[in-house]
Structure 1
Amino acid sequence: MNWWCFTRLQFFHIHCKIVFLNYIELRLEFNSISPFLDVLKQELADIGFDSFMDNENGFSAFISNKLLDENLVLDLLNNYDDFILSKIFEEHPYQNWNKKWESEFQPVVINENCVIRASFHGSFDCKYEVIIDPEMSFGTGHHETTRLIALYLLDNKLTSKKVLDFGAGTGVLSILAEKLGASKVVGVEVDPLAVSNAVNNASVNNCQKITFIEGSGEDIPNMAYDLVLANINKNTIADHWVSLIKVTHDKSTLVLSGFYNEDIPYLENLSSRNGLIPLYSNSENNWAVLVLKYN
Protein backbone atom coordinates (compact mmCIF):
# COMPACT_ATOMS: atom_id res chain seq x y z
CA MET A 1 0.00 0.00 0.00
CA ASN A 2 2.60 2.48 -1.11
CA TRP A 3 0.09 5.20 -1.91
CA TRP A 4 0.22 6.65 1.62
CA CYS A 5 2.88 9.22 0.76
CA PHE A 6 2.84 13.00 0.81
CA THR A 7 5.07 15.85 -0.34
CA ARG A 8 5.54 17.96 2.80
CA LEU A 9 5.42 16.35 6.21
CA GLN A 10 5.66 17.85 9.66
CA PHE A 11 6.86 15.52 12.39
CA PHE A 12 5.38 15.63 15.87
CA HIS A 13 6.70 13.62 18.79
CA ILE A 14 3.94 12.06 20.77
CA HIS A 15 4.15 14.43 23.72
CA CYS A 16 3.77 17.54 21.55
CA LYS A 17 0.41 19.15 20.88
CA ILE A 18 -0.98 18.04 17.52
CA VAL A 19 -2.43 20.54 15.07
CA PHE A 20 -5.32 18.62 13.52
CA LEU A 21 -5.57 18.68 9.75
CA ASN A 22 -7.21 16.16 7.46
CA TYR A 23 -5.35 12.92 8.15
CA ILE A 24 -2.96 11.98 10.93
CA GLU A 25 -0.34 9.26 10.63
CA LEU A 26 0.89 7.53 13.78
CA ARG A 27 4.28 5.96 13.06
CA LEU A 28 5.41 3.30 15.53
CA GLU A 29 8.82 1.63 15.75
CA PHE A 30 9.29 -1.45 17.94
CA ASN A 31 12.30 -3.17 19.52
CA SER A 32 10.99 -6.51 18.26
CA ILE A 33 8.40 -7.63 15.75
CA SER A 34 6.01 -10.16 17.23
CA PRO A 35 2.41 -11.37 16.84
CA PHE A 36 1.12 -8.77 19.30
CA LEU A 37 1.36 -6.17 16.50
CA ASP A 38 -1.84 -7.56 14.97
CA VAL A 39 -3.54 -7.15 18.33
CA LEU A 40 -2.39 -3.54 18.55
CA LYS A 41 -3.60 -2.85 15.01
CA GLN A 42 -7.01 -4.22 15.91
CA GLU A 43 -7.14 -2.06 19.03
CA LEU A 44 -6.22 1.00 16.96
CA ALA A 45 -8.87 0.08 14.39
CA ASP A 46 -11.40 -0.13 17.20
CA ILE A 47 -10.77 3.53 18.09
CA GLY A 48 -10.98 4.87 14.56
CA PHE A 49 -7.73 4.13 12.71
CA ASP A 50 -8.80 2.91 9.29
CA SER A 51 -5.60 2.08 7.41
CA PHE A 52 -2.24 0.54 8.20
CA MET A 53 1.10 0.30 6.39
CA ASP A 54 3.84 -2.05 7.55
CA ASN A 55 7.52 -1.15 7.43
CA GLU A 56 10.74 -2.87 8.45
CA ASN A 57 10.61 -2.00 12.16
CA GLY A 58 6.91 -1.47 12.80
CA PHE A 59 3.96 0.13 11.08
CA SER A 60 2.07 3.36 10.45
CA ALA A 61 -1.59 3.80 11.33
CA PHE A 62 -3.84 6.44 9.76
CA ILE A 63 -6.87 8.22 11.18
CA SER A 64 -9.07 11.13 10.20
CA ASN A 65 -8.45 14.17 12.36
CA LYS A 66 -12.16 14.17 13.16
CA LEU A 67 -11.87 10.81 14.88
CA LEU A 68 -8.54 11.20 16.66
CA ASP A 69 -8.72 11.20 20.47
CA GLU A 70 -5.13 11.88 21.53
CA ASN A 71 -5.62 10.80 25.15
CA LEU A 72 -7.26 7.55 24.09
CA VAL A 73 -4.33 6.76 21.78
CA LEU A 74 -1.79 7.55 24.49
CA ASP A 75 -3.59 5.36 27.00
CA LEU A 76 -3.62 2.48 24.56
CA LEU A 77 0.06 2.82 23.64
CA ASN A 78 1.04 2.88 27.31
CA ASN A 79 0.21 -0.82 27.38
CA TYR A 80 3.00 -1.43 24.86
CA ASP A 81 5.71 0.83 26.31
CA ASP A 82 8.11 -2.08 26.82
CA PHE A 83 8.14 -2.73 23.07
CA ILE A 84 7.84 0.74 21.51
CA LEU A 85 11.09 2.48 20.55
CA SER A 86 9.55 5.58 19.02
CA LYS A 87 6.14 7.16 18.54
CA ILE A 88 5.70 9.89 15.97
CA PHE A 89 2.67 11.71 14.61
CA GLU A 90 2.78 13.14 11.09
CA GLU A 91 0.42 15.69 9.64
CA HIS A 92 -0.81 15.20 6.10
CA PRO A 93 -2.11 18.55 4.83
CA TYR A 94 -4.93 18.24 2.32
CA GLN A 95 -3.31 20.49 -0.26
CA ASN A 96 -0.18 18.30 -0.41
CA TRP A 97 -1.96 15.04 -1.18
CA ASN A 98 -2.58 14.96 -4.92
CA LYS A 99 0.92 15.59 -6.28
CA LYS A 100 2.50 12.72 -4.41
CA TRP A 101 -0.19 10.10 -4.73
CA GLU A 102 -0.21 10.61 -8.49
CA SER A 103 3.44 9.56 -8.55
CA GLU A 104 2.86 6.61 -6.19
CA PHE A 105 -0.62 5.28 -6.97
CA GLN A 106 -0.41 2.17 -9.14
CA PRO A 107 -3.39 0.47 -10.83
CA VAL A 108 -4.91 -2.39 -8.86
CA VAL A 109 -5.74 -5.60 -10.71
CA ILE A 110 -8.59 -7.25 -8.77
CA ASN A 111 -8.76 -10.15 -11.23
CA GLU A 112 -8.65 -10.67 -14.98
CA ASN A 113 -12.01 -8.90 -15.34
CA CYS A 114 -11.52 -5.85 -13.13
CA VAL A 115 -8.91 -3.12 -12.69
CA ILE A 116 -9.07 -0.06 -10.44
CA ARG A 117 -7.00 2.83 -11.76
CA ALA A 118 -6.67 6.60 -11.60
CA SER A 119 -7.78 8.93 -14.38
CA PHE A 120 -4.16 9.64 -15.37
CA HIS A 121 -3.42 5.95 -16.00
CA GLY A 122 -3.82 4.42 -19.42
CA SER A 123 -6.90 2.34 -20.12
CA PHE A 124 -6.88 -1.43 -19.45
CA ASP A 125 -8.37 -4.13 -21.62
CA CYS A 126 -10.78 -5.65 -19.11
CA LYS A 127 -14.52 -6.01 -18.64
CA TYR A 128 -14.82 -3.71 -15.61
CA GLU A 129 -12.59 -0.68 -15.27
CA VAL A 130 -13.16 1.51 -12.20
CA ILE A 131 -11.55 4.96 -12.27
CA ILE A 132 -10.77 6.41 -8.84
CA ASP A 133 -9.04 9.69 -7.97
CA PRO A 134 -8.94 9.41 -4.17
CA GLU A 135 -7.90 12.92 -3.06
CA MET A 136 -7.97 12.66 0.77
CA SER A 137 -10.40 9.72 0.83
CA PHE A 138 -9.12 6.21 1.39
CA GLY A 139 -10.36 3.48 -0.91
CA THR A 140 -8.37 2.84 -4.06
CA GLY A 141 -8.51 -0.94 -4.02
CA HIS A 142 -5.03 -1.28 -2.55
CA HIS A 143 -6.36 -2.27 0.84
CA GLU A 144 -7.11 -5.94 1.39
CA THR A 145 -10.68 -5.34 2.54
CA THR A 146 -11.63 -3.43 -0.61
CA ARG A 147 -10.19 -6.19 -2.78
CA LEU A 148 -11.94 -8.90 -0.78
CA ILE A 149 -15.35 -7.29 -1.23
CA ALA A 150 -14.65 -6.49 -4.88
CA LEU A 151 -13.78 -10.14 -5.54
CA TYR A 152 -17.03 -11.24 -3.92
CA LEU A 153 -19.05 -8.78 -6.01
CA LEU A 154 -17.37 -9.93 -9.21
CA ASP A 155 -18.29 -13.55 -8.44
CA ASN A 156 -21.97 -12.82 -7.80
CA LYS A 157 -24.90 -11.46 -9.79
CA LEU A 158 -25.90 -7.91 -8.95
CA THR A 159 -28.33 -7.41 -11.84
CA SER A 160 -31.35 -5.34 -10.76
CA LYS A 161 -30.27 -5.38 -7.09
CA LYS A 162 -30.59 -2.46 -4.70
CA VAL A 163 -27.24 -1.96 -2.94
CA LEU A 164 -26.27 -0.07 0.21
CA ASP A 165 -22.58 0.84 0.55
CA PHE A 166 -22.15 1.88 4.18
CA GLY A 167 -18.83 3.67 4.70
CA ALA A 168 -18.51 4.38 0.99
CA GLY A 169 -15.20 6.29 1.08
CA THR A 170 -14.14 7.08 -2.49
CA GLY A 171 -17.19 5.25 -3.83
CA VAL A 172 -15.12 2.47 -5.38
CA LEU A 173 -17.46 -0.35 -4.32
CA SER A 174 -20.57 1.65 -5.19
CA ILE A 175 -19.19 2.28 -8.66
CA LEU A 176 -18.28 -1.37 -9.15
CA ALA A 177 -21.77 -2.40 -8.00
CA GLU A 178 -23.40 -0.23 -10.67
CA LYS A 179 -21.04 -1.54 -13.33
CA LEU A 180 -22.06 -5.07 -12.30
CA GLY A 181 -25.71 -4.30 -12.94
CA ALA A 182 -27.17 -2.93 -9.70
CA SER A 183 -30.38 -1.01 -10.34
CA LYS A 184 -29.86 1.41 -7.45
CA VAL A 185 -26.87 2.12 -5.21
CA VAL A 186 -26.84 4.28 -2.08
CA GLY A 187 -23.46 5.18 -0.59
CA VAL A 188 -23.43 6.54 2.96
CA GLU A 189 -20.26 8.20 4.27
CA VAL A 190 -19.64 10.33 7.37
CA ASP A 191 -16.76 12.37 5.90
CA PRO A 192 -18.02 15.29 3.74
CA LEU A 193 -14.75 15.42 1.78
CA ALA A 194 -15.10 11.75 0.95
CA VAL A 195 -18.69 12.28 -0.19
CA SER A 196 -17.59 15.05 -2.55
CA ASN A 197 -14.79 12.83 -3.85
CA ALA A 198 -17.17 9.89 -4.34
CA VAL A 199 -19.60 12.04 -6.32
CA ASN A 200 -16.75 13.13 -8.59
CA ASN A 201 -15.56 9.56 -9.05
CA ALA A 202 -19.06 8.39 -9.94
CA SER A 203 -19.28 11.12 -12.56
CA VAL A 204 -15.91 10.13 -14.07
CA ASN A 205 -17.23 6.56 -14.36
CA ASN A 206 -20.47 7.78 -16.01
CA CYS A 207 -22.56 6.31 -13.20
CA GLN A 208 -26.26 7.19 -13.21
CA LYS A 209 -27.71 4.99 -10.46
CA ILE A 210 -25.68 5.99 -7.39
CA THR A 211 -26.68 8.44 -4.67
CA PHE A 212 -24.08 9.45 -2.08
CA ILE A 213 -25.25 10.74 1.30
CA GLU A 214 -23.23 12.41 4.04
CA GLY A 215 -24.23 10.80 7.30
CA SER A 216 -24.22 7.72 9.48
CA GLY A 217 -26.50 4.81 10.31
CA GLU A 218 -29.52 6.95 11.14
CA ASP A 219 -29.23 8.66 7.75
CA ILE A 220 -29.57 5.51 5.63
CA PRO A 221 -32.58 5.97 3.31
CA ASN A 222 -35.39 3.72 4.47
CA MET A 223 -35.82 1.08 1.80
CA ALA A 224 -35.21 -2.66 1.55
CA TYR A 225 -31.75 -3.32 0.10
CA ASP A 226 -30.89 -6.62 -1.55
CA LEU A 227 -27.20 -6.23 -0.76
CA VAL A 228 -25.62 -4.36 2.15
CA LEU A 229 -21.87 -3.64 2.05
CA ALA A 230 -20.11 -2.43 5.20
CA ASN A 231 -16.35 -2.04 4.83
CA ILE A 232 -15.63 -0.34 8.14
CA ASN A 233 -14.42 -1.97 11.38
CA LYS A 234 -15.84 -4.38 13.94
CA ASN A 235 -16.92 -1.78 16.48
CA THR A 236 -18.49 0.51 13.89
CA ILE A 237 -20.41 -2.43 12.44
CA ALA A 238 -21.65 -3.29 15.94
CA ASP A 239 -22.53 0.34 16.71
CA HIS A 240 -24.67 0.62 13.56
CA TRP A 241 -25.93 -2.95 13.45
CA VAL A 242 -29.56 -2.05 14.16
CA SER A 243 -29.52 0.57 11.39
CA LEU A 244 -28.07 -1.93 8.91
CA ILE A 245 -30.49 -4.72 9.77
CA LYS A 246 -33.44 -2.34 9.61
CA VAL A 247 -32.99 -1.82 5.85
CA THR A 248 -32.72 -5.51 4.89
CA HIS A 249 -35.35 -8.07 3.91
CA ASP A 250 -35.47 -11.85 4.27
CA LYS A 251 -33.54 -12.40 1.02
CA SER A 252 -30.87 -9.77 1.68
CA THR A 253 -27.15 -10.47 1.73
CA LEU A 254 -24.76 -8.60 4.04
CA VAL A 255 -21.08 -8.32 3.10
CA LEU A 256 -18.96 -7.15 6.03
CA SER A 257 -15.25 -6.29 6.10
CA GLY A 258 -12.73 -3.97 7.74
CA PHE A 259 -11.81 -6.39 10.52
CA TYR A 260 -9.51 -9.33 11.23
CA ASN A 261 -10.09 -13.09 11.06
CA GLU A 262 -10.30 -13.29 14.84
CA ASP A 263 -13.29 -10.91 14.79
CA ILE A 264 -15.42 -13.27 12.71
CA PRO A 265 -16.84 -15.26 15.67
CA TYR A 266 -17.96 -12.03 17.36
CA LEU A 267 -19.76 -10.86 14.21
CA GLU A 268 -21.27 -14.28 13.58
CA ASN A 269 -22.66 -14.25 17.11
CA LEU A 270 -23.97 -10.70 16.69
CA SER A 271 -25.68 -11.53 13.40
CA SER A 272 -27.15 -14.83 14.63
CA ARG A 273 -29.44 -12.88 16.96
CA ASN A 274 -31.19 -11.59 13.84
CA GLY A 275 -31.41 -14.97 12.14
CA LEU A 276 -28.39 -14.46 9.90
CA ILE A 277 -25.99 -17.28 9.10
CA PRO A 278 -22.51 -17.18 7.54
CA LEU A 279 -22.54 -17.92 3.82
CA TYR A 280 -18.91 -17.25 2.93
CA SER A 281 -15.69 -15.84 4.36
CA ASN A 282 -12.27 -15.09 2.96
CA SER A 283 -9.12 -13.35 4.13
CA GLU A 284 -5.94 -11.68 2.97
CA ASN A 285 -3.07 -10.82 5.33
CA ASN A 286 -5.46 -11.56 8.22
CA TRP A 287 -8.01 -8.99 6.98
CA ALA A 288 -11.35 -10.71 6.55
CA VAL A 289 -14.64 -10.52 4.68
CA LEU A 290 -17.79 -12.18 6.04
CA VAL A 291 -20.93 -12.74 3.97
CA LEU A 292 -24.23 -13.34 5.76
CA LYS A 293 -27.71 -14.46 4.68
CA TYR A 294 -30.96 -14.97 6.52
CA ASN A 295 -31.61 -18.54 7.60
Structure 2
Amino acid sequence: MDYLELKITCREEFREILIAELSEIGYDSFLETEEGFDTYSEIDSFDREAFDEIIHRYQEAAAISLKENRVQKTNWNEEWEKNYDPIAVDDLVYVRASFHPSQEGFQHEIVINPKMSFGTGHHATTFQMLRLQGRIDHKGKRVLDVGSGTGILAIMAHLLGADEVQAFDIDDWCVDNGNENFALNSLPIQMGLGTIRSVQPKGPFDIILANINKNVLLDELEIYASLLKEGGYLLLSGFYTEDIQDLTDHCKSLDLDLLSQESKDNWAALVMKKS
Protein backbone atom coordinates (compact mmCIF):
# COMPACT_ATOMS: atom_id res chain seq x y z
CA MET A 1 0.00 0.00 0.00
CA ASP A 2 1.42 3.39 -1.01
CA TYR A 3 1.01 6.50 1.12
CA LEU A 4 0.52 10.14 0.31
CA GLU A 5 3.17 12.17 2.11
CA LEU A 6 2.15 15.78 2.80
CA LYS A 7 4.94 18.10 3.89
CA ILE A 8 3.28 21.10 5.52
CA THR A 9 5.04 24.34 6.34
CA CYS A 10 3.20 26.69 8.70
CA ARG A 11 3.62 29.24 11.45
CA GLU A 12 4.83 27.68 14.70
CA GLU A 13 1.75 28.70 16.69
CA PHE A 14 -0.53 26.84 14.24
CA ARG A 15 1.34 23.55 14.09
CA GLU A 16 -0.49 21.86 16.98
CA ILE A 17 -3.83 23.27 15.83
CA LEU A 18 -3.40 21.84 12.33
CA ILE A 19 -2.29 18.46 13.68
CA ALA A 20 -5.41 18.36 15.86
CA GLU A 21 -7.68 19.34 12.96
CA LEU A 22 -6.20 16.66 10.70
CA SER A 23 -6.43 14.04 13.43
CA GLU A 24 -10.16 14.74 13.56
CA ILE A 25 -10.55 13.59 9.92
CA GLY A 26 -8.59 10.40 10.26
CA TYR A 27 -4.90 11.27 10.17
CA ASP A 28 -2.90 9.63 12.94
CA SER A 29 0.69 9.78 11.64
CA PHE A 30 2.59 13.03 12.16
CA LEU A 31 6.25 13.95 12.14
CA GLU A 32 7.06 17.43 13.44
CA THR A 33 9.75 19.35 11.57
CA GLU A 34 11.47 22.69 12.05
CA GLU A 35 9.17 24.30 9.48
CA GLY A 36 5.92 22.53 10.37
CA PHE A 37 5.14 18.82 10.11
CA ASP A 38 4.72 15.89 7.75
CA THR A 39 1.60 13.74 7.69
CA TYR A 40 0.79 10.52 5.91
CA SER A 41 -2.36 8.91 4.58
CA GLU A 42 -3.09 5.77 2.61
CA ILE A 43 -3.69 6.78 -1.01
CA ASP A 44 -6.98 4.88 -1.20
CA SER A 45 -8.44 6.45 1.93
CA PHE A 46 -7.17 10.03 1.49
CA ASP A 47 -10.08 12.45 1.93
CA ARG A 48 -9.10 15.25 -0.43
CA GLU A 49 -12.22 17.33 0.18
CA ALA A 50 -11.88 17.36 3.98
CA PHE A 51 -8.15 18.01 3.76
CA ASP A 52 -8.57 20.92 1.33
CA GLU A 53 -11.26 22.47 3.55
CA ILE A 54 -8.92 22.55 6.56
CA ILE A 55 -6.00 23.90 4.56
CA HIS A 56 -8.17 26.61 3.00
CA ARG A 57 -9.54 27.63 6.40
CA TYR A 58 -6.06 28.20 7.88
CA GLN A 59 -4.13 29.02 4.71
CA GLU A 60 -3.70 32.74 5.24
CA ALA A 61 -3.50 32.93 9.05
CA ALA A 62 -1.02 30.05 9.32
CA ALA A 63 0.93 30.91 6.14
CA ILE A 64 0.59 27.33 4.93
CA SER A 65 2.51 25.84 2.05
CA LEU A 66 2.64 22.16 1.24
CA LYS A 67 4.29 19.54 -0.95
CA GLU A 68 2.87 16.15 -1.86
CA ASN A 69 4.79 12.95 -2.52
CA ARG A 70 3.83 9.33 -3.05
CA VAL A 71 5.84 7.06 -0.74
CA GLN A 72 5.94 3.39 0.19
CA LYS A 73 5.05 2.40 3.72
CA THR A 74 8.45 0.76 4.22
CA ASN A 75 10.22 4.11 3.80
CA TRP A 76 8.85 5.33 7.15
CA ASN A 77 11.52 3.65 9.25
CA GLU A 78 14.28 5.58 7.48
CA GLU A 79 12.45 8.86 8.04
CA TRP A 80 12.16 8.20 11.76
CA GLU A 81 15.85 7.32 12.05
CA LYS A 82 16.65 10.69 10.49
CA ASN A 83 14.30 12.76 12.65
CA TYR A 84 13.36 10.90 15.83
CA ASP A 85 15.17 12.02 18.99
CA PRO A 86 14.83 10.45 22.46
CA ILE A 87 12.70 12.22 25.07
CA ALA A 88 12.78 12.37 28.86
CA VAL A 89 9.70 12.70 31.06
CA ASP A 90 11.22 14.17 34.22
CA ASP A 91 13.30 11.37 35.77
CA LEU A 92 10.39 8.96 35.34
CA VAL A 93 11.06 7.50 31.91
CA TYR A 94 13.47 7.79 28.98
CA VAL A 95 11.85 7.04 25.63
CA ARG A 96 14.20 6.08 22.82
CA ALA A 97 14.30 4.16 19.58
CA SER A 98 16.24 0.92 19.26
CA PHE A 99 18.99 2.76 17.37
CA HIS A 100 19.64 5.11 20.33
CA PRO A 101 21.82 4.18 23.34
CA SER A 102 20.38 3.81 26.83
CA GLN A 103 20.60 6.70 29.28
CA GLU A 104 21.21 6.49 33.02
CA GLY A 105 19.31 8.49 35.64
CA PHE A 106 15.75 7.38 34.87
CA GLN A 107 13.44 5.06 36.74
CA HIS A 108 12.28 3.42 33.52
CA GLU A 109 13.16 3.13 29.86
CA ILE A 110 10.85 2.52 26.91
CA VAL A 111 12.04 1.52 23.45
CA ILE A 112 9.70 2.70 20.69
CA ASN A 113 10.19 2.20 16.96
CA PRO A 114 7.17 4.25 15.88
CA LYS A 115 6.98 3.66 12.12
CA MET A 116 3.60 5.10 11.03
CA SER A 117 1.92 5.07 14.45
CA PHE A 118 1.09 8.08 16.60
CA GLY A 119 2.32 8.28 20.18
CA THR A 120 6.07 8.52 20.62
CA GLY A 121 6.08 10.77 23.67
CA HIS A 122 7.05 13.85 21.66
CA HIS A 123 3.50 15.14 21.44
CA ALA A 124 2.28 17.08 24.47
CA THR A 125 -0.66 14.72 25.04
CA THR A 126 1.47 11.56 25.22
CA PHE A 127 4.08 13.34 27.35
CA GLN A 128 1.44 14.38 29.87
CA MET A 129 -0.18 10.96 29.96
CA LEU A 130 3.17 9.34 30.77
CA ARG A 131 3.78 11.88 33.53
CA LEU A 132 0.32 11.33 35.04
CA GLN A 133 0.75 7.56 34.91
CA GLY A 134 3.87 7.97 37.03
CA ARG A 135 1.73 9.54 39.79
CA ILE A 136 -0.74 6.66 40.03
CA ASP A 137 -0.14 3.30 41.68
CA HIS A 138 -0.27 0.64 38.94
CA LYS A 139 1.01 -2.29 41.01
CA GLY A 140 -1.23 -5.31 40.69
CA LYS A 141 -3.83 -3.33 38.70
CA ARG A 142 -5.83 -4.14 35.57
CA VAL A 143 -5.20 -1.46 32.94
CA LEU A 144 -6.95 -0.72 29.63
CA ASP A 145 -5.25 1.42 26.96
CA VAL A 146 -7.85 2.74 24.49
CA GLY A 147 -6.52 3.72 21.04
CA SER A 148 -3.05 2.51 21.94
CA GLY A 149 -1.11 3.70 18.86
CA THR A 150 2.52 2.71 19.36
CA GLY A 151 1.61 1.04 22.66
CA ILE A 152 3.70 3.47 24.69
CA LEU A 153 1.14 3.98 27.48
CA ALA A 154 0.48 0.25 27.79
CA ILE A 155 4.23 -0.33 28.07
CA MET A 156 4.45 2.36 30.77
CA ALA A 157 1.64 0.64 32.70
CA HIS A 158 3.56 -2.63 32.53
CA LEU A 159 6.76 -0.99 33.76
CA LEU A 160 4.84 0.57 36.66
CA GLY A 161 3.80 -2.87 37.84
CA ALA A 162 0.35 -3.46 36.34
CA ASP A 163 -0.76 -7.05 36.73
CA GLU A 164 -2.73 -7.08 33.45
CA VAL A 165 -2.67 -4.68 30.50
CA GLN A 166 -5.09 -4.71 27.56
CA ALA A 167 -4.65 -2.47 24.51
CA PHE A 168 -6.27 -1.98 21.12
CA ASP A 169 -6.39 0.42 18.17
CA ILE A 170 -8.59 0.92 15.11
CA ASP A 171 -5.61 0.96 12.69
CA ASP A 172 -4.09 -2.37 11.65
CA TRP A 173 -0.71 -0.71 11.04
CA CYS A 174 -0.73 0.63 14.62
CA VAL A 175 -1.56 -2.86 15.86
CA ASP A 176 1.39 -4.38 13.98
CA ASN A 177 3.71 -1.64 15.20
CA GLY A 178 2.36 -1.80 18.76
CA ASN A 179 2.96 -5.52 18.95
CA GLU A 180 6.54 -5.01 17.77
CA ASN A 181 7.04 -2.41 20.50
CA PHE A 182 5.48 -4.72 23.09
CA ALA A 183 8.03 -7.38 22.16
CA LEU A 184 10.89 -4.85 22.34
CA ASN A 185 9.84 -4.02 25.91
CA SER A 186 9.06 -7.58 27.04
CA LEU A 187 5.34 -6.91 27.39
CA PRO A 188 3.72 -10.33 26.84
CA ILE A 189 0.44 -9.22 25.26
CA GLN A 190 -1.03 -8.70 21.81
CA MET A 191 -2.79 -5.49 20.79
CA GLY A 192 -6.36 -5.89 19.60
CA LEU A 193 -7.84 -4.39 16.44
CA GLY A 194 -11.05 -2.37 16.48
CA THR A 195 -13.06 0.20 18.41
CA ILE A 196 -13.97 -0.22 22.05
CA ARG A 197 -17.44 -1.33 20.93
CA SER A 198 -16.13 -4.03 18.61
CA VAL A 199 -13.29 -5.22 20.86
CA GLN A 200 -15.61 -5.32 23.91
CA PRO A 201 -12.94 -5.46 26.64
CA LYS A 202 -14.08 -7.21 29.81
CA GLY A 203 -14.03 -5.02 32.88
CA PRO A 204 -13.75 -3.98 35.51
CA PHE A 205 -10.43 -2.12 35.19
CA ASP A 206 -8.54 -0.21 37.85
CA ILE A 207 -7.08 2.26 35.34
CA ILE A 208 -8.24 3.29 31.86
CA LEU A 209 -6.00 5.33 29.57
CA ALA A 210 -7.57 7.22 26.65
CA ASN A 211 -5.43 9.61 24.60
CA ILE A 212 -7.60 10.11 21.53
CA ASN A 213 -9.56 13.26 20.65
CA LYS A 214 -12.46 15.17 22.10
CA ASN A 215 -15.22 13.80 19.87
CA VAL A 216 -14.25 10.16 20.39
CA LEU A 217 -13.85 10.69 24.14
CA LEU A 218 -17.28 12.29 24.48
CA ASP A 219 -18.80 9.45 22.48
CA GLU A 220 -17.12 6.70 24.52
CA LEU A 221 -17.00 8.13 28.07
CA GLU A 222 -20.08 6.21 29.14
CA ILE A 223 -18.39 2.96 28.11
CA TYR A 224 -15.21 3.86 30.00
CA ALA A 225 -17.26 4.58 33.12
CA SER A 226 -19.05 1.23 32.85
CA LEU A 227 -15.70 -0.61 32.61
CA LEU A 228 -14.06 1.24 35.51
CA LYS A 229 -14.02 -0.06 39.07
CA GLU A 230 -15.39 2.10 41.85
CA GLY A 231 -12.40 4.16 42.95
CA GLY A 232 -10.68 3.51 39.62
CA TYR A 233 -8.80 6.12 37.58
CA LEU A 234 -9.53 7.42 34.09
CA LEU A 235 -6.70 9.35 32.40
CA LEU A 236 -7.78 11.46 29.43
CA SER A 237 -5.91 13.53 26.86
CA GLY A 238 -6.00 14.43 23.18
CA PHE A 239 -7.93 17.72 23.44
CA TYR A 240 -7.35 21.43 24.02
CA THR A 241 -7.52 23.24 27.34
CA GLU A 242 -10.68 25.03 26.19
CA ASP A 243 -12.37 21.63 25.88
CA ILE A 244 -11.81 20.69 29.53
CA GLN A 245 -15.21 21.93 30.68
CA ASP A 246 -17.08 19.85 28.09
CA LEU A 247 -15.20 16.72 29.15
CA THR A 248 -15.55 17.28 32.91
CA ASP A 249 -19.25 18.12 32.62
CA HIS A 250 -19.88 14.85 30.81
CA CYS A 251 -17.74 12.95 33.32
CA LYS A 252 -19.68 14.42 36.24
CA SER A 253 -22.90 12.90 34.91
CA LEU A 254 -21.15 9.51 34.94
CA ASP A 255 -19.90 9.77 38.55
CA LEU A 256 -16.37 10.55 37.38
CA ASP A 257 -14.80 13.24 39.55
CA LEU A 258 -11.91 15.46 38.47
CA LEU A 259 -8.81 14.86 40.58
CA SER A 260 -6.26 16.87 38.62
CA GLN A 261 -5.64 18.58 35.33
CA GLU A 262 -2.56 19.70 33.43
CA SER A 263 -1.78 21.46 30.19
CA LYS A 264 1.19 21.69 27.86
CA ASP A 265 1.26 23.75 24.67
CA ASN A 266 -2.51 24.26 25.09
CA TRP A 267 -3.12 20.49 25.15
CA ALA A 268 -4.92 19.22 28.25
CA ALA A 269 -4.75 16.05 30.33
CA LEU A 270 -7.16 15.01 33.09
CA VAL A 271 -7.24 12.46 35.89
CA MET A 272 -10.76 11.39 36.79
CA LYS A 273 -11.79 9.04 39.61
CA LYS A 274 -14.96 6.98 39.73
CA SER A 275 -16.92 7.79 42.86
TM class by smaller structure = 0.7 to 0.9
Match of 2:55 among 60, 72, 77: 77
Could you tell me how far 1:235 is from its partner in structure 2? 1.2
The 8 Å contact of residues 22 and 92 in structure 1, kept in 2 or not, is answered as yes
1:48-95 deviation line (CA, Å, top 9, x unaligned)? 344473655xx3363543764221222333334544553444444311
Match of 1:269 among 239, 242, 249: 249
Match of 1:286 among 250, 254, 266: 266
Distance 1:267 1:253 in 2: 15
The structure-2 alpha-carbon separation of the partners of 1:80 and 1:294, relative to structure 1 and needing over 3 Å to count, comes to same
1:111-142 deviation line (CA, Å, top 9, x unaligned)? 22311111222222232111111122222211
The 8 Å contact of residues 185 and 211 in structure 1, kept in 2 or not, is answered as no
- Residue 103 (str. 1) matches residue 82 (str. 2): yes
Residues paired across the two proteins, number: 270
RMSD across aligned positions (CA): 2.5
- Which residue is 2:165 aligned to? 185
Distance 1:37 1:114 in 2: 26
- Which residue is 1:242 aligned to? 222
Could you tell me how far 1:226 is from its partner in structure 2? 0.8
Could you tell me how far 1:35 is from its partner in structure 2? 6.6
The structure-2 alpha-carbon separation of the partners of 1:77 and 1:150, relative to structure 1 and needing over 3 Å to count, comes to same
1:29-57 deviation line (CA, Å, top 9, x unaligned)? 4xxx597776555433332344473655x
1:149-171 deviation line (CA, Å, top 9, x unaligned)? 11111122100111110111111
Identity %: 33
The 8 Å contact of residues 58 and 64 in structure 2, kept in 1 or not, is answered as no
The 8 Å contact of residues 49 and 61 in structure 1, kept in 2 or not, is answered as no
Match of 1:53 among 32, 36, 51: 32
Q: What 5-or-longer segments of structure 2 have no aligned partner?
A: none
The structure-2 alpha-carbon separation of the partners of 1:136 and 1:52, relative to structure 1 and needing over 3 Å to count, comes to closer
Distance 1:229 1:282 in 2: 15
Q: Could you tell me which amino acid in structure 2 is paired with residue 119 of structure 1?
A: S
- Residue 158 (str. 1) matches residue 135 (str. 2): no
Distance 2:115 2:15 in 1: 29
- Which residue is 1:44 aligned to? 22
The 8 Å contact of residues 117 and 130 in structure 1, kept in 2 or not, is answered as yes
The structure-2 alpha-carbon separation of the partners of 1:211 and 1:246, relative to structure 1 and needing over 3 Å to count, comes to farther
- Which residue is 2:100 aligned to? 121
Distance 1:88 1:201 in 2: 31
TM-score scaled to structure 1, two decimals? 0.81
- Which residue is 2:2 aligned to? 21
Q: Could you tell me which amino acid in structure 1 is paired with residue 57 of structure 2?
A: N
Distance 1:68 1:54 in 2: 22
Distance 2:12 2:180 in 1: 42
The structure-2 alpha-carbon separation of the partners of 1:124 and 1:36, relative to structure 1 and needing over 3 Å to count, comes to closer
Distance 1:238 1:268 in 2: 10
Could you tell me how far 1:174 is from its partner in structure 2? 0.5
1:253-287 deviation line (CA, Å, top 9, x unaligned)? 11011111111111112212212121111111111
Q: Could you tell me which amino acid in structure 1 is paired with residue 39 of structure 2?
A: F
The structure-2 alpha-carbon separation of the partners of 1:91 and 1:60, relative to structure 1 and needing over 3 Å to count, comes to farther
The 8 Å contact of residues 277 and 292 in structure 1, kept in 2 or not, is answered as yes
SS at match of 2:2: coil
- Residue 207 (str. 1) matches residue 187 (str. 2): yes
Structure that is richer in helix per residue: 2
